Amino acid sequence: MQPFTSITSVATPFPQVNVDTDIIIAGEFLKTTKRTGLGRHAFHSVRYDVNGHHIADNIFDRTPYCRAEILVAGQNFGCGSSREHAPWAIADMGYRCIVASGFADIFAGNCAKNGIVTVTLPQDQVDVLECEAEACREITVDLVAKSIILAEGMAFPFDYNPVHRHLLLNGLDEIGQTLQNEDVITKYEKERMHVTPWQF
Amino acid sequence: MPQTMYDKIWQQHVVEDRGNGVALLYIDRHLIHEVTSPQAFDGLRLAGRTVRRADTIIAVPDHNVPTKDRHLPNPDPSSAEQLATLEANVQEFGINYIPVDDVRQGIVHVIGPEQGITQPGITMVCGDSHTSTHGAFGALAFGIGTSEIEHCFATQTLVLKKSQTMRVTVNGKLPPGCSAKDMALAVIGKIGTAGGTGHVIEYAGSMVQDLSMEGRMTLCNMSIEAGARAGMIAPDAKTFRYIKGRPYAPKPEHWNAAVNHWKSIVGDKDAVFDKEVALEATDIAPMITWGASPEDVVPVTGVVPAPESFSDPNKVQSVKNALNYMGLLPGEAMTNVLVDRVFVGSCTNSRIEDLRAAAAIIKSRRVANSVKQAIIVPGSGLVKKMAEDEGLDQIFLAAGFEWREPGCSMCLAMNPDKADPGDHVASTSNRNFVSRQGPGARTHLVSPAMAVGAAIAGHFVDVRNF
């Protein structure tokens, strides 16, 4: 996974609340055994009409947002299912950061495993970022400093889940990390076998 | 310090405390299905890793399987490939597998409890957000993404940050005609789809205790629709009775020790929760959704709300979008909404009690001619068999319903069961998202009784006087 320290980009404004994972990537596109190539199906109902024709001026595909790496989204973004296809699709579109006033837990965790930073800010600050996005002004997201910096220099500090931040900053293989410490798992299992033997 | 049930289960599963509420947590049981697992197996192969404890995993196909004509090849080649991939993967890694032609096959969240895999005090995961269902047994059960599936395969653990706790107390008695589904929808209506974000819910109160195990599963199932990754209910004698004798239940020589352990994980009486929510069961009516989010819900006696009645400007816009999508006008009575399709099934409402409630409404009546399709999809082959032994299938068939094979079916449009654009669907599933049941489909979430009532009348009805 590519480490994330800081990026500067224009941002796509998408303020709709409760954007669910079906909107991000609909069920019909989950029938794949790969992680790649989902970007073209992302936000399908926003980018294509009912007949499947591409809507040329949709927010995601119009200039300059087609090259945006940041998405400014609405409250409770990513609610619904646990499908990791949602962050895979968003990453495939080129996004590396989503800013909103709230994210669904599973979605935020899935993003962290795929190099996507999910920044939670108060709604009034998200509203400011949306205006910046609408005006096509660049935004900087700095995960090291835990801060979002606007073009005119104003900064919004944010908190971040320490587990996710560690993964993102270092681009780590979490499994490899856990396996380095496999002895503690074996030790736990040996002890647990006496407490709940019916589980083994 | 007094502990909640969540605190206790969490503490007992900490393999390594990493500070700040972060821990390497041991996972006892892992359910898998065809849609979210292939990339995890691929990841293992790429890194030359293996599954640490194949004995803790059980695999079953459910999302993509057709619910009729199963003797024919799967009509969708990509579904067929995903199903074949699951079969190849479980063989390669030596994982317990329930194939599609096995009587035990069904929806992963119906199978777990039915086979006795789901037990109090365990940690349980599945690459499916409705894993919260298993919390009905006092398990800490939650949905995970594919990277976490892979992590769990390789290490039998997950790196997690502890959630906050929320107690939802429902006291009093549910009125006749109301069910656990209506309770779940009432809770979501009250706290919203983000109300439980960052929290694990524990359901408590006399009405929660009064629920059957099936009802408790329905309630915990929809915790995720309230934003909570897990929902739990303290195990009791009803829980233990349900588990006893099932294939994966503790063997007789361990039974007493297991029950003692299960009793010990119930939360302490004076434990403090980060958030408290209370509902009075007597105030709950049959519920129905009007919009494209499960929080867009009203009692069946209610009307479609006006967008301007919401205070958040972004919500106003989404309500406008939702009403446009649903083809509904503010002020319209919910009982005036005509129904094109009816779906009784899904991990929320496909268990035997749901089918009994559905059959009980029929009273020798028939599905209205205006309804294009009304399907009843049992949650597992064993539920199907039980229903057939009770003669429920004959009641459904005589009334004009289709009686299907088990699977996720019309809940999510990943198999041949789909609604057409513009169809209003009375659905016992859990999500009324845009296009969830097929492109342009208009989902109304209801209880099994309400769905069948709508099938007979051709529009939504208040089942309390139907």
CATH number at residue A52: 3.20.19.10
Q: Which two tokens stand for residue A62?
A: 């119009």
Please indicate, yes or no, if residue A185 is contained in any of the structural domains: no
Query: Is the CB of residue B61 less than 8 Å away from at least one CB of chain A?
Result: no
Contact assignment for A81 to B129 by CB distance below 8 Å:
yes
Query: Is the CB of residue A170 less than 8 Å away from at least one CB of chain B?
Result: no
Lowest mean pLDDT, pick from A168-182, B7-21, B92-106, B118-132: A168-182
Mean pLDDT, range B131-140, rounded to an integer: 98
DSSP class per residue in B146-185:
HHHHHHHHHHSEEEEEPPEEEEEEEES-PPTT--HHHHHH
Please indicate, yes or no, if residue A73 is contained in any of the structural domains: yes
Query: Is the CB of residue B35 less than 8 Å away from at least one CB of chain A?
Result: yes
CA-atom Rg of chain B in angstroms: 21
- Return the bridge partners of A142, or none: A6, A147
Tens-place pLDDT, residues B193-228 = 999 999 999 999 999 999 999 999 999 999 999 999
Residue of chain A nearest B25, judged by CA positions: A185
CA angle B3, B6, B11 (to 5 degrees): 75
Please indicate, yes or no, if residue A111 is contained in any of the structural domains: yes
H or E element that contains B6: helix B5-12
d(CA B18, CA B310): 43
Q: Position of tokens 């298993």?
A: B134
Rounded to 10 deg, the angle between the B352-362 and B381-389 helix axes is 40
Please indicate, yes or no, if residue A199 is contained in any of the structural domains: no
pLDDT at B287 > cutoff 90? yes
Q: Which two tokens stand for residue A108?
A: 């935020």
Instruction: Domain count for chain A, please give it.
Output: 1
Predicted local distance difference test score (pLDDT) of residue A50 = 80
Contact assignment for B154 to A189 by CB distance below 8 Å:
no
Q: Which residues of A touch B147 (CB under 8 A)?
A: 84, 110, 113-114, 174
Whether residue B266 contacts residue B235, with contact meaning beta carbons closer than 8 Å, is answered with yes
Query: Is the CB of residue A58 less than 8 Å away from at least one CB of chain B?
Result: no
Please indicate, yes or no, if residue A193 is contained in any of the structural domains: no
Residues spanned by the domain of A102: 6-173
Instruction: Determine which of B119, B153, B197 to mutate to test the interface with A (most A C-beta atoms within 10 Å).
Output: B197
pLDDT at A172 > cutoff 90? no
Measure the N-to-C terminal CA separation of chain A; round to a whole number of Å: 34
Residue of chain B nearest A195, judged by CA positions: B261
Please indicate, yes or no, if residue A155 is contained in any of the structural domains: yes
- pTM for this one? 0.97
Domains of chain B as residue ranges with CATH = 5-275 (3.30.499.10), 286-465 (3.30.499.10)
Please indicate, yes or no, if residue A46 is contained in any of the structural domains: yes
CA angle B321, B327, B333 (to 5 degrees): 110
The phi and psi torsions of B73 (rounded to 5 degrees) equal: -60, 150
* Ranges of H-type helices in B131-283: 146-155, 180-191, 206-210, 213-221, 237-243, 252-264
Query: What letter represents residue B100's amino acid?
Result: V
| E strand segments, B234-337 | 275-280, 287-289, 297-299
Predicted local distance difference test score (pLDDT) of residue A2 = 86
Number of H helices, E strands in chain A: 8, 8
pLDDT at A51 > cutoff 90? no
pLDDT band at residue B80 using 50, 70 and 90 as cut-offs:
very high
Please indicate, yes or no, if residue A78 is contained in any of the structural domains: yes
